[in-house]
Structure 1
Amino acid sequence: MNLESIREKIGYQPALLGVVALLASGALAMASTATHDAIAAAEAKDLRDSLSEVLPSGMADNDFLKDTINVDRDGQPVTIYRARQGSEMKAALFKVAGRGYAGEIQILMAVDMSGKTLGVRVLKHAETPGLGDKIEVKKDSWIKSFDGKSLGEPAPEKWAVKKDSGVFDQFAGATITPRGVVKAVKGGLEFFAAHKTEITG
């Protein structure tokens, strides 16, 4: 039986395709295994860098990536990263989300034990460049206006942009974006206050 007669058989092409698919799957699995640790390390570094941005320098001496607790919020688990000096807990770091003009805005915030914000940073958004993207710290210092704020300072009714009789600035032509961030940060403070005992353990 020569090669031409084998090729004419009905099962030849599906079998060949199966062998190629099997080899490709094996190669992908090997590549995934080989790069898994490097990817995980890079992701951990990115997360640690982001967490460190909202936490004042020297405030923690623990690895807060390994000191976590999950707390339920509206049926979804929220990972709380706990910053400590020795055995004393100094801050809780966690993500919140708000609704902007173009979609969800993901925010990382740090709160000290008295309920004051230590830092707030936007992690991800799809807001309009040149308008709504001023929520990024590299574009504008607006996001730093949350530093030191709490549910009592300003008063709850003042947790809004100035257009809504609040204390936070808005951007010309992009009020919806800062309004969403203000609401999300206030919600984060309320979440911390409601679950403080659970968060601190």
Structure 2
Amino acid sequence: HFHGPRDENSELHIVLVDNGRSKIRDSKTFRESLHCIRCGACMNTCPVYRRSGGHSYRATVPGPIGSVLGPAKNAKAHKSLPFACSLCGSCTDVCPVKIPLHHQLLAWRKVLVGKRLVAWNKRMAMKAASFLFQNPPLFAAAGYFGRVALKVLPKALTHNRFNTWAKDRDLPEPPKQSFHEWYAKNRPTGSQAVLKEERS
């Protein structure tokens, strides 16, 4: 394209494929995703992508960057991708062009919920989780009963033919106490706490 047509009697046609990029460029939230140089660093570090693989994303570009670009192209077809993320921020840390990927994935979740593209059962589960996390006594009680249930209930309740997720995975041993209980017993008090603060 630098040299033009091959000879005087021919023409040079350049076709620019937008593929939704103008729409992304006009978005203040997602514009930076167009800086991607396709290096694959976000995929290599992503714990979800490393476990699930590229084909599970059902998109041309998989991994964290694909989870941002996919819904931008077709939100209905790729509505689940931003939720396939632990929001650990590792992708943002390793990105050489500093795309705030985990922030964009969180923003996509809000957009998709606003468009009513998230299934009702997932919305209800998130509301229940939000209610639980905002009530510390209830959260502590749920943690306690969860630990007891893991010890008492038979494994067949979670690991059966109806739960395909558990086919290749096993639950860890439940802890004897919560972190809150451990911290209450082991936190430094009095002169120990003062000494620790002075050292740091």
- Report TM bin, short chain: under 0.3
Higher relative contact order (CA 8 A, sep 6+): 1
TM-score (norm. length: structure 1):
0.23
Kindly indicate which of the two structures has a greater share of residues assigned to strand. 1
Kindly indicate which of the two structures has a greater share of residues assigned to helix. 2
TM-score (norm. length: structure 2):
0.23
